[in-house]
Amino acid sequence: MELLELVLAAACFAAGGLFMKYAAGVSRPLPTAAFALLFLAGAVLQSLGMRRFDLGAAYIAVLGLEVALAFLLSVAVLHESYSAGRIIAIVLILSGVALLRKY
């Protein structure tokens, strides 16, 4: 259950980042409220998910997954560019997260 909470936390943070982009520097009320609520939900889920895991491994795992999800959202929703270098960077980040979790 804790692992699911960490994955959902990363998803909330990534979606919150998307709404942060739409908030245009907190000048648009609805996207601003959405990103604030998503970040709050992400923090609560991460706190719940960290009950059973080491701080370092859990925190970095959420950040790594958030990076990957934010990248996917930026490409799929915002039509931002992606390159082989960016994809390799995401793979390296996720590999580092996997190694951290293993050791």
How does pLDDT run across 53-76, given as a tens digit for each residue? 888 888 988 999 999 999 999 999
pLDDT at residue 101 is higher than 90: no
Q: What distance in Å separates the CA atoms of residue 7 and residue 15, rounded to the nearest whole number? A: 12
Query: Which of 35, 31, 57 has its CA nearest to residue 46?
Result: 57
The model's pTM:
0.89
Average pLDDT over residues 41-53: 94
How many structural domains does the chain have? 1
Confidence band, pLDDT 50/70/90 cuts, at residue 8: very high
